[in-house]
Structure 1
Amino acid sequence: MKTKISLLIAMLSLLPVPAFAHPHIFIDAKFEVVSAPDGSISELRNVWSFDEVFTSSVLMDYGKSGDQALSASELKAVGKTVRDSLAQYGYYTNVTSNGKAVPMAKPDAVEANYKDGSLTLTFSLKPEQKTFLKGTTIFGIYDKTLYTAVDFATDNDLTTSGQALGRCKRKVIRPNPKEVMAENQAALTSMFFSDPKGTDYSLLVATRLEVQC
């Protein structure tokens, strides 16, 4: 039986881009870049807390007891579904090193928890190939389809750790959507949003962490 999460992922490839003008799933996120002793990226730690509506849909599809709770085995099933389904979307993780995209490997596991009415997913990603923190590295957690909104409540929700990162400068970039629209008015046409390959609008408005080493 297809689950709610599987159906939502499937919808991403079936619906036209304009349908994503307004997000349907909302995530409060925390993100941490961890460096290795040799100055490379060790891992990217993610904690995602989902909105009540999406959490309720997961409860209905995975909770067999009907007691508004999820057992350990049910939570494990949720984590496995997300791990498998979001692989094609890179787990909404977009990293560039000096302008070049850095692909991420599939996480070992996605840990799901349910507490106080919210579904939370915790997982770590590692680059497919060793990537050193040299020059400018930009980290963005956003859904290119605009179906899911990923929000960082404060700049402190995007952090770095590891001795190698101590020599680097970091800043959080929070674009103003109105300014983005004004500056790119000529490019943001209906044809732009209807491109079946997706658009760069999500990148223009996404909160990002920039690290310079």
Structure 2
Amino acid sequence: MRRTLSSRGLLAGLAAALILPAQAFAHPHIFAEARLEVVSDDTGHISQLRNVWRFDELFSASVLLDFDKNSNATLDPDELAEVGQTVLDSLSEYNYYTTIYDNGKLVKVSKPDAIHADFKDNQLLLIFAVKPAESMPLKGTMSFGIYDPTLYTAIDFPSDGDLAVVGDKLAACQHKVVRPDPDEVISQNQSTLTDAFFTDPTGTDMSKLFATRIEFTC
């Protein structure tokens, strides 16, 4: 049973089914430092988003406990592969925590080929790339962010440099990193946030207001 709960809960917002949404918002249970690379190709389109997520030691220890089948206090290659597959399966309904806006239109991502898991310095790492599910030419305004709509996982970019631009054509566009002030977001959206949290216990798109993101004007 512990394995089942952990597999469902591994970055999948299990708290939404167990505690009030407002509590999940106030108290994330998983913490990760992230790097996001937004990549353009030679044709002037967004080609992929590359992710690296490094998780806090407490959560990483719980993953080690749940997936260390041979009890050798480490995660062997087959065990890491199982972690990656678990996340690959469980995050599909959450769009892999990826939020893309193309001139105001929300764009989904395609399922990645794989999510690669590693375990270094007592921390779990997940490395993967996603592609926009539809063509995204470098035209107009675009926004890219990573956030958990259930608010169970807090994903942080330690520096603006952790939201990186790859590709000469994309680098030629104006771009900036946006870090919303949580107090200001709450103050400006108090009634809407309250309604959203209590009417949708599985999470709400309103949480994207809190997400660090990188915006482009091409």
- Length-normalised TM-score, structure 2: 0.91
- What amino acid does structure 2 have at the position aligned with 1:2? T
* Whole-angstrom CA distance in 1 between matches of 2:192 and 2:79: 45
Match of 2:129 in 1: 124
Does structure 1 residue 195 correspond to structure 2 residue 215? no
Q: 2:8 aligns with which of 6, 9, 15?
A: 6
* Whole-angstrom CA distance in 2 between matches of 1:80 and 1:186: 39
Q: Which runs of 5+ in 1 are unaligned?
A: none
Whether contact under 8 Å (1:141, 1:207) holds in the other structure is yes
Work out the number of aligned pairs and report it: 212
Match of 2:111 in 1: 106
- Identify if the C-alpha distance between structure 1 residues 70 and 153 changes in structure 2 by more than 3 Å, giving closer, same or farther: same
Whether contact under 8 Å (2:13, 2:151) holds in the other structure is no
Whether contact under 8 Å (1:168, 1:211) holds in the other structure is yes
- What amino acid does structure 2 have at the position aligned with 1:145? T
Q: 1:167 aligns with which of 169, 172, 175?
A: 172
Whether contact under 8 Å (1:96, 1:102) holds in the other structure is yes
- Length-normalised TM-score, structure 1: 0.93
Q: 2:22 aligns with which of 12, 18, 23?
A: 18
CA positional deviation for 1:2: 2.0
* Whole-angstrom CA distance in 2 between matches of 1:51 and 1:88: 23
Q: 2:69 aligns with which of 64, 68, 83?
A: 64
- Identify if the C-alpha distance between structure 1 residues 167 and 179 changes in structure 2 by more than 3 Å, giving closer, same or farther: same
Q: Which runs of 5+ in 2 are unaligned?
A: none
CA positional deviation for 1:145: 1.1
- Identify if the C-alpha distance between structure 1 residues 198 and 2 changes in structure 2 by more than 3 Å, giving closer, same or farther: closer
- Identify if the C-alpha distance between structure 1 residues 135 and 84 changes in structure 2 by more than 3 Å, giving closer, same or farther: same
* Whole-angstrom CA distance in 2 between matches of 1:212 and 1:104: 21
Whether contact under 8 Å (2:34, 2:54) holds in the other structure is yes
Percent identity between the two aligned chains: 49
Whether contact under 8 Å (2:13, 2:150) holds in the other structure is no
* Whole-angstrom CA distance in 2 between matches of 1:84 and 1:187: 31
Match of 1:156 in 2: 161
Match of 1:134 in 2: 139
CA positional deviation for 1:10: 6.9
